[in-house]
Structure 1
Amino acid sequence: MTQTAYQTPLVVVGGWGVDAAMLLPLFDGWPGEIHLVSLTDTLMTRCESVAEVADYLLDHYPCPSVWAGWSQGAQVAMAAAAQSDLQEARVITLAGFPRFTAGPDWPVGMSAESFNTFRDAIASETGPAWRHFQQLLIHGCEDYLKARKELQPWLKQGASVTSASLIRGLEWLEREDQRGLWQELPVPALHLQAEQDAVVRSWAGSFAPARSANVITVPGMTHWPRGQAVARCREEIHRFAFSTGDSWQI
């Protein structure tokens, strides 16, 4: 039986070193269950790859669902969508990417030098390096003082995983290349890119995902979707998730 908007579960997967709950304002009023998944020590230690995390989550969360992934969580959500044989599945990526590190045929990724420097910093000074990354989540926003205030509770909470798990997540970022998967994904996808992203360079002009995918660059959005960008993201998510005519109060 086809689900209506009022029955649609949502699985939200957070990114590297961040709490999935930081995305909740995007889905305020979602007409169905919301399952928040952060990349915790439990997940990071029991799984050897992004694909294994996706397998684990598919076994533990309801299908069909709308899947949303933020940053590294976008790769998990895309892997889950690719492995699901349920035609009603849809997937949303927020500040996501098919590949994180640069290569001869992927110039929009992070350079090997910058990546290795950051990995060394996480290994030797986990706390300061993690806090520096958190600041990058809001870098480029117009209302920086307000953004810092909103970020402060998450900074005080601290990293929710160990240094070993953070390094494992970086290893996944270094080797994961989903370009083929993104180009062949059999289910509808919405890719929301951040205009002011200080973590991930835009790939919109250099990479074409599947024809069923829609790529939108959100004005003013930083790597952490917040502020005025939230309303635009919610509008696009609503249009995408319930394009059959079902409604979601936004």
Structure 2
Amino acid sequence: MAAPMASRQSPRGRVGLVAGWSYPAAVFEPLRRALADHAVSAFDWVSFAAGWLGEDVVRADEPEPSVWVGWSLGGVLLLEALRQGRIAPDRLVLVNATPRFLEAPGWPGVPEAEWRGLRRAAARHPMAAVAAFRRRFALPDVAGRDPALADVSGLDWLARLDLRAFLADVSTPVECWLAQDDPLVPADWPSHLALSPRVCCQRFTEPGHAPWFADPAALAARLSAG
């Protein structure tokens, strides 16, 4: 598993990025280039979970980001870290993420049967499961595949966490960036919650589960605006 990626310190605020299941921190290279005037630290989900959510904290020796950005599973883990008081950012940005991944009565999400199918496949043949997962959902196929990043514990985090109540009274500013035709995170989930006034929702113009990857300019501009 690769070490966290960090850019040189700059006068702009530090931004922390946390990737989704199966992805290395390198998935954020397009966004890092668009944030060239910021100090940026990028983490895969395993490194973040170990450093901020584990009992034996293994944290990088650098200032904590003032803005945390999490994509998919990365966003869910950031929200849980905020709930536990493990992070204290000025802003939290959730990209194609949801406070509850699995479907529930009155709640749009992934059916549990589909989640179990992916989990079984990942437990048997992690890299084959990752390849099929990316093809099925038109996700970026970046270099640097690591079996550790496809560990089923990441899928278990998605199934276990239900942070809907936390988003109802969160006091930290939270931005939710969603997209139409996202096959994993329904764009209308905010309409199913009474969200805290500190939560706002933005929409990508492009569809899918990773619209920021090919064109990160809109997200970078929003992060730079503060």
Q: Normalized against structure 2, the TM-score is what?
A: 0.80
**1:26 has 2:31 as partner:** yes
- Measure, in 2, the Cα distance between the counterparts of 1:61 and 1:137: 35
**1:210 has 2:196 as partner:** yes
Q: Deviation per CA, 1:160-197, whole angstroms, max 9, x where unpaired?
A: 2338x621111111111111222222111111012231
User: Are the counterparts in 2 of residues 184 and 209 from structure 1 also a CA contact under 8 Å?
Assistant: yes
| Structure that is richer in helix per residue | 1
- Measure, in 2, the Cα distance between the counterparts of 1:221 and 1:54: 38
The residue that corresponds to 1:11 in the other structure is: 16
- Measure, in 2, the Cα distance between the counterparts of 1:54 and 1:67: 21
- Measure, in 2, the Cα distance between the counterparts of 1:189 and 1:58: 23
User: Are the counterparts in 1 of residues 103 and 111 from structure 2 also a CA contact under 8 Å?
Assistant: yes
Distance 1:60 1:199, change over 3 A: farther
- Measure, in 2, the Cα distance between the counterparts of 1:125 and 1:222: 26
- Measure, in 2, the Cα distance between the counterparts of 1:95 and 1:209: 17
Looking at CA atoms only, which structure, 1 or 2, has the larger radius of gyration?
A: 1
The residue that corresponds to 1:172 in the other structure is: 157
Instruction: Map 1:104-119 to 2 at 5 A.
Output: 104-106=105-107, 108-119=108-119
The residue that corresponds to 1:75 in the other structure is: 76
The residue that corresponds to 1:219 in the other structure is: 205
Q: Normalized against structure 1, the TM-score is what?
A: 0.73
User: 1:12 Cα deviation (Å)?
Assistant: 0.7
Unaligned runs of 5+ in 2: 1-9
| Number of aligned residue pairs | 213
Q: Deviation per CA, 1:219-238, whole angstroms, max 9, x where unpaired?
A: 2132122334x222223333
User: Are the counterparts in 2 of residues 55 and 80 from structure 1 also a CA contact under 8 Å?
Assistant: no
Instruction: Map 1:58-207 to 2 at 5 A.
Output: 61-63=62-64, 65-82=66-83, 83=85, 86=88, 89-106=90-107, 108-138=108-138, 151-152=140-141, 154=142, 156-158=143-145, 160-162=146-148, 166-202=151-187, 203-207=189-193
- Measure, in 2, the Cα distance between the counterparts of 1:98 and 1:123: 24
Which residue type is aligned with residue 157 of structure 1? G
The residue that corresponds to 1:246 in the other structure is: none
CA RMSD for the aligned pairs?
Answer: 2.9
The residue that corresponds to 2:41 in the other structure is: 35
Distance 1:222 1:20, change over 3 A: farther
